[in-house]
């Protein structure tokens, strides 16, 4: 007689009827059902579409230069490579919206399950902060909670000032704003390689401002990971 492991899918809450075998005896049980796993796979970034090698922005076949990266290079000139598993649309967009803006903390379990933090010999993992005022209103920091759920050791080096949402501003107006980031905790970053983690990568301005501030501490190499792009 084959025994079954009965768990419920974290996303749809339907039962996961997984046979109990020697193959899965030594691993953690699945937390997403096959149907929900399939939905996440549909929005994974793949190689069939031409993308900027640096920021993963979709480009036309005729484009040779990413305009976003060119714009940022002229102002920051910081080298980095974005790593990201998902496009910010569909189920990923819905999940992040409900998690961040509707304060559904439970969803950090799902995000922690589907994302894959890059492997590497990073000296430090540093989350991109959100303002303390928003963390208090939300009762949690969205990026930090996912890192905790995945058991990732991170350092809160940066802080950021509270500002009104800038969704209505174009990138020219946004670039004229002062850098909102500040060093919250001084640690030795001279010659270190770090991984910056954020939830959403859009134009890259936020990441570049954070790296600009950290560059004053003589970081040797920047890597960037976002839940979605």
Model confidence over 78-87: pLDDT tens digits?
999 999 989 9
64-162+174-228 CATH fold: Rossmann fold (3.40.50)
Structure tokens at 150: 């995945």
- The dihedrals phi and psi of 139, each to the nearest 5 degrees, come to 80, 5
pTM of the shown model:
0.87
The answer to whether residues 78 and 215 touch, using CB atoms and an 8 Å cutoff, is yes
Model confidence over 84-133: pLDDT tens digits?
989 999 899 999 999 999 999 999 999 999 999 999 899 999 999 999 99
* Sign, CA torsion 174/96/66/77: positive
**Percentage above 70 pLDDT, the chain:** 90
Model confidence over 46-76: pLDDT tens digits?
767 899 999 999 999 899 999 999 999 999 9
């Amino acid at each position: 007689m084959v025994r079954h492991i009965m768990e419920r899918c974290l996303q749809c809450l339907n039962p996961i009827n997984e046979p109990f075998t020697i193959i899965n005896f030594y691993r953690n049980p699945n937390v997403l059902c096959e149907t929900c796993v399939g939905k996440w796979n549909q929005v994974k970034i793949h190689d069939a579409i031409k993308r900027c090698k640096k920021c993963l922005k979709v480009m036309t076949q005729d484009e040779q230069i990413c305009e976003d990266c060119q714009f940022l290079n002229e102002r920051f000139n910081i080298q980095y490579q974005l790593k990201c598993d998902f496009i910010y649309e569909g189920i990923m967009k819905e999940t992040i919206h409900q998690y961040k803006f509707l304060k559904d903390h439970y969803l950090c379990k799902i995000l922690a399950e589907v994302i894959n933090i890059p492997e590497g010999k990073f000296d430090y993992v540093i989350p991109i902060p959100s303002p303390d005022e928003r963390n208090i209103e939300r009762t949690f920091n969205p990026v930090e909670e996912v890192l905790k759920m995945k058991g990732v050791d991170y350092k809160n080096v940066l802080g950021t000032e509270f500002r009104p949402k800038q969704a209505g501003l174009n990138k020219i107006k946004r670039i004229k704003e002062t850098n909102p980031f500040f060093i919250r905790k001084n640690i030795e970053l001279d010659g270190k390689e770090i991984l910056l983690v954020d939830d959403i990568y859009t134009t890259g301005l936020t990441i570049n401002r954070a790296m600009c501030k950290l560059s004053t501490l003589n970081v040797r190499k920047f890597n960037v990971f976002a839940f979605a792009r």
